[in-house]
Structure 1
Amino acid sequence: MTSITDFQPGQILCLEHGDTCLYAELIQIVPKNKSRRGWVRPLILKVSPTRDSIASSSVHIDDPTASEQPSLYDLRQGSDLLCPIALFRAALDTEVVPLLTQLAHPKTQTQGDCIAHQQLHRFIHDVCQMHLTTL
C-alpha cells in the first residue's frame, strides 16, 4: 500500500466508499498540516450498481451488460476539494485509463453537470458521515 507521504502532485488517487469510487488528481498536499489534508481535483465518480438496483431496474433481463455497467459522472469541470489524504489510495492506471476513455467516447452518455455534482455532494456527505470521528 502506498504511504500518503509517497503521493505526488499530479498523481491520480481513488477514494472508495461502498459501491462508489471518486477518482481525483492530487493538486497539493497542504504544508505543515497535522491532519494531512490536500487539494484534489475530482475527475470521475464511478457508481457501481448494487444488487438491489439491478433487481428493481426495468432493464431487460436478456441484456446482461445493460444493468451491470457502472454510472460514470464527469467531474472535470468542477471545483477542487480539500480532503484528508489518508482516505485515498493511489489509483492504478489500468482502472483510470479505461474510465477516461469511456468519458471521451461519443456514445457514452454521461450525466449532466448538475446531476454529477449532486452525486459528488452526496458521496462526500456519506464519506464525512462515515469518518466523522476521525476527520
Structure 2
Amino acid sequence: MTWVFWALLSATFAAGTALLAKVGVEGIDSNLATAIRTSVVVVVTWAIAIALEKHHAIAQIGRRGWIFLTLSGICTGLSWLCYFRALKLGPVSSVAPIDKLSIVLVVLGAWAFLGEGMSLMKLGAISLIAVGAIMLVFA
C-alpha cells in the first residue's frame, strides 16, 4: 500500500472527525470535548503500537526526535483545542475548509524550512486551495 492510500484513508477519517466532533461538542465545553477526544486517541494509538510490538523502539528515539515530537504534540493539542472551539461556535462546513488552509501553510513551510521544491504549478495549486477555502466559507 502506497502513501497515497494512507493519505486518502487519513482524509476519510479526518472528514469523519469533523462531522462526528460537531455533533459531539454540542452542549459540552470545547476544551473538555478535546480532552475526551485526545484521551481516546492516546488509548487507541498506544493499543496499536503495543499490538504491533512497535513500543520497544521507544528506547532508540534520540534527543532530537523527542524534542520535535514533543513540539509537534504541543502544536497538535493547540490545533485541536482551537478546532473544537471553532466547531462549537461555527458551522462545520465553514470551519473545516478554514482548518484545511493548513495545507497552504505546510507547503510554504516545507519550501521555506525543509528545502522542498516550489514550482509555479504548486504555487498555483495552493492558491486555488486558499481561494476555494475562502469561497466555501462565504458560499
Q: TM-score, with normalisation over the residues of structure 1? A: 0.25
Larger radius of gyration: 2
Q: TM-score, with normalisation over the residues of structure 2? A: 0.24
Higher strand share: 1
